[in-house]
């Protein structure tokens, strides 16, 4: 099983990264994809969909991507009691939620073999952008150290992508 560090950055968009590309060498070296979100979902529902791969109406039945994996998790919104992950000495998933400070995130991105920087939602005019938003106004998934070849992914795919990275599995789409 691999070790994966995830930086969750609420509000981060592809446009914000593009506008500051010259200042962010570590983030620019990561593979980038935009994330298509669920319309009319709240930021909390979007975060839950991101970590579970489950539509909001089924959140009560789902499990987080770290189910059965030693993990330390700090999300933006409180987790359900049965989804909480506690720090242990053998952590395979280290999920950290960071404020939208691009320079701090860029510095923190150094030195991780397997890393994902992602956002459950992107803010446009102070509100989460919907699925019809311009691609630059969508949230992002930036990766290093595991295969993720799509240029855009649905928010419900992210949990599966990260789980496969942890389990060191490769999945290719049918042609």
The model's pLDDT over 73-101, given as tens digits with 9 standing for 90+, comes to 999 999 988 898 876 678 899 999 999 99
Structural contact between residues 56 and 41, judged by C-beta atoms closer than 8 angstroms: yes
To the nearest whole percent, how much of the chain has pLDDT over 70?
95
* 170 assigned to some structural domain: no
* The pLDDT of residue 87: 63
pLDDT in tens, 103-126: 999 999 998 999 999 999 999 888
Closest CA to 71 of 50, 93, 90, 52: 93
Q: How high is the pLDDT of residue 101?
A: 96
Distances (CA, A) of 161 to 23, 51, 142, 166: 28, 10, 12, 9
159 within some domain: no
Mention every residue, 6+ apart, whose C-beta is less than 8 A from residue 137. 13, 14, 15, 122, 124, 129
Mean pLDDT over all residues of the chain? 91
Do 90 and 70 meet the contact criterion of CB atoms below 8 Å apart? yes
Q: How confident is the model at residue 133 (pLDDT cuts 50, 70, 90)?
A: confident
Residue 172 confidence (pLDDT): 65
Q: What is the mean pLDDT of residues 129-149?
A: 91
H and E: helices and strands count for the chain: 5, 9
Is the per-residue pLDDT at 175 higher than 60? no
- The average pLDDT across 136-154 equals 93
In CATH, what number is assigned to the domain containing residue 102? 3.40.720.10
Listed in sequence order, the DSSP H helices in 72-154 are 102-108
Q: Are 96 and 117 in contact (CB under 8 A)?
A: no
Is residue 89 assigned to a domain? yes
In the chain, how many domains are there? 1
Give the C-alpha separation, 47 to 155, whole Å.
Answer: 9
- Evaluate whether residue 123 is within a structural domain: yes
Distance between CA 119 and CA 154 in Å, rounded?
12
Backbone conformation region of residue 40, classed left if phi is above 0, alpha if psi is from -120 to 50, else beta: left
By C-alpha distance, which of 168, 30, 162 is closest to 109? 30
Higher pLDDT, 172 or 5: 5
Give the pLDDT mean for 15-30: 94
Where in the sequence is the domain holding 86, given as residue range(s)? 4-25+32-145
- What pLDDT is recorded for position 174? 59
51 within some domain: yes
* Confidence (pTM): 0.92
In this structure, is residue 136 part of a structural domain?
yes
Strand order in the sheet with 71-73: 71-73, 93-97, 4-8, 115-118, 140-144, 31-36, 152-154
Residues constituting the chain: 175
**Low-confidence winner among 21-25, 81-85, 134-138, 161-165 (lowest mean pLDDT):** 81-85
> Is residue 153 assigned to a domain?
no
Is residue 90 a part of any domain in this protein? yes
């Amino acid at each position: 099983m691999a070790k994966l560090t995830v930086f969750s950055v609420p509000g981060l968009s592809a446009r914000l990264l593009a506008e500051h590309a010259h200042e962010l060498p570590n983030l620019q070296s990561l593979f980038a994809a935009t994330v298509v979100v669920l319309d009319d979902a709240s930021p909390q529902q979007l975060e839950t969909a991101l970590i579970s791969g489950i539509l909001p109406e089924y959140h009560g039945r789902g499990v987080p991507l770290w189910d059965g994996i030693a993990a330390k998790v700090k999300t933006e919104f409180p987790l359900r009691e049965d989804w909480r992950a506690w720090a242990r000495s053998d952590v395979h998933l280290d999920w950290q939620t960071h404020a939208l400070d691009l320079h701090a995130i860029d510095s923190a991105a150094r030195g991780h073999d397997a890393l994902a920087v992602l956002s459950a939602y992107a803010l446009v005019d102070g509100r989460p952008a919907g699925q019809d938003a311009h691609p630059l106004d969508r949230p992002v998934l930036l990766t290093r150290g595991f295969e993720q070849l799509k240029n855009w992914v649905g928010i419900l795919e992210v949990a599966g992508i990260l789980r496969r990275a942890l389990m060191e599995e490769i999945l290719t789409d049918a042609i």
